Homo-oligomer: A and B are copies of this chain.
Amino acid sequence: MIATLKFTALLLAVVVCRATQDYGYKDVEEPTLGDSQYGSLWPLPQKVQMSTVAFKLSGVSFQIVDAKESSSGASCSLLQNAYRRYDEYIFPISRMQGQNKKKAFASVSELQVWITSADSECDNYPSVTSDESYELSVDSPVAVLKAPKVWGALRGLETFSQLVYEDEYGAKSINRTEIQDFPRFTHRGLLLDSSRHFLPIKVILANLEAMAWNKFNVFHWHIVDDPSFPYMSRTFPQLSQQGAYHPYTHVYTPSDVKMIIEFARLRGIRVVSEFDTPGHTQSWGKGQKDLLTPCYSGASPSGSFGPVNPILNTTYDFMAMFFKEVSTVFPDAYIHLGGDEVDFSCWKSNPDIQKFMAQQGFGTDYSKLESFYIQRLLDIVTTTNKGYMIWQEVIDNGVKLKSNTVVHVWMGNKFEEELQKVTEAGFTTILSAPWYLDYISYGQDWQKYYKVEPLSFNGTDAQKKLVVGGEACLWGEYVDATNLTPRLWPRASAVGERLWSNKDVKDTNDAYSRLIQHRCRMVQRGIPAEPLFTGYCAHEYKGV
């Protein structure tokens, strides 16, 4: 049976009407809606050849199976879990029971998943060097997904599921297709902030699901900060007992953390925890005496506290024990150490700090004191055999860093200059500056995120290779379980495609057509991704 790709539109039945939008200003140009030749694929794979020849997928007989030649399969729970997940996405209502009828048309009866390298990495954690490439060949009667590692198989399963559509009669269909795919950037992250508002586990899990659909591979967990300390430490339980919004309803227990990490691993997502110091630590001080600097008002302590106290040995003893624990709880090779926005006013007010500054010959340059602290912290973390990520201020202040340090560029102005500077110094870097999704505005701001080109800065090819990716950041001041998910999706999807697809993929109109369908697919799969503009999904969101 022959069908053309235009049926794709029927699957998600998305129509966007061009209402006169006269009630106010428009920030961003309206893209034009037309059917994309790539259907609803998001992010767009590196190489796609799609035929107009269409096959059916039978609800009775279709299955995802391990290829005979695969180095991994029945014993790999990561893959078996993924097969179940994607089976449910493709056949959300029911699988018919019964005998497979003799078919009058060509069909795809199997998707064979073939892990081609000897070590599938099934039981590993994903890492910055994980191979996520895959090749997908859809033909009748068999489709084949080849990937060196399970990570590529996960990405290919998502792509396969995005190729399936319904024809006019609701029959599951897929076109003959050849795809070779791999990510442009190896670090494609999303930052969520569980300190400004506590995020219930299921909110985090739901967003890990959505991340996988958008081929994100790093969950940057900004887990603690000034307002609250929801991380339950085994070594220092008083940190969350005193520092969380509530000692057991608003904390992440070790079991919670373990579950989140495993849930993410099954989707090829790294969990990089951030424990930001020496600033952003007000909540730490509640459960850990003498950790923070006492601020002075004139000659006496004011009762308030500043950043971590960098002049006490007890501070470093604490940090050594704390990060030793963190390094075992979070399996990822990297820890994000923060280091941003250190306010010097409290340090300046404190006579002991002043004395220490004089002893060390720092003069009145408090960034030297900050560097002194960071340097010692980095030495401590180095002993745990972890690499570290830090916010850009740390390098701006001239702290000596290990060569494998990842510098996180976040300041909004002139991020190109900062990328140039960081890579000139030879450091690996990731970009977040243009992708602070907590800043909302009226209209289609996804386009603004989409149009960013991370390698647009001046630099050599070697410098550009040092930019390993980026992260969309959703800081928590104004989001919690009530509004986080629709505010994040599909805005973060724009960043997802920018980081995965080829740099030439920048046709906003084509992206618009695909993204509208992709967002309806997210809604269909249960995530309340908000609309891009006037229009509808065949099946609207079922929650409230």
Could you list which residues of chain A lie within 8 angstroms of chain B, going by C-beta atoms?
A: 13, 15, 17, 19-24, 196-198, 200, 202-203, 206, 225-228, 245-246, 249-250, 280, 282, 341, 343, 412, 436, 438-443, 475-483, 485-487, 523, 526-536, 538, 540-544
Contact = CB atoms under 8 A, between A and B. Distances in A.
A533 B441 contact: no
Given A196-B19, A487-B483, A534 B246 contact: no
Given A206-B544, A250-B536, A528 B482 contact: yes
B17 A226 contact: yes
A116 B230 CA distance: 53
Contacts of A440: 440-442
A487 B206 CA distance: 20
Contacts of A534: 196-197, 227, 476-477
A540 B245 CA distance: 12
Contacts of A480: 530-531, 536, 540-541
B197 A443 contact: no
Contacts of A477: 19, 21, 23, 533-534
Contact of A536 (B24, B228, B479): B228
B540 A543 contact: no
Given A197-B536, A250-B536, A531-B480, A202 B544 contact: yes
A443 B22 CA distance: 25
Contacts of A485: 544
A250 B479 CA distance: 30
B24 A412 contact: yes
B249 A483 contact: no
A540 B19 contact: no
Nearest to A487: B483
A531 B436 contact: no
Given A197-B536, A439-B442, A543-B544, A227 B19 contact: yes
A530 B533 CA distance: 21
B441 A442 contact: yes
B478 A486 contact: no
A417 to B, nearest CB: 19
A529 B438 CA distance: 17
A486 B482 CA distance: 6
A526 B482 CA distance: 10
A481 B24 contact: no
A249 to B, nearest CB: 7
Contacts of A24: 412, 436, 438-439
Contacts of A438: 23-24, 442
Given A24-B438, A440-B441, 19 more contacts: A13-B246, A19-B282, A20-B341, A23-B436, A23-B475, A24-B439, A197-B531, A227-B534, A246-B536, A477-B534, A478-B530, A480-B531, A480-B541, A481-B528, A481-B541, A481-B542, A482-B529, A482-B541, A483-B483
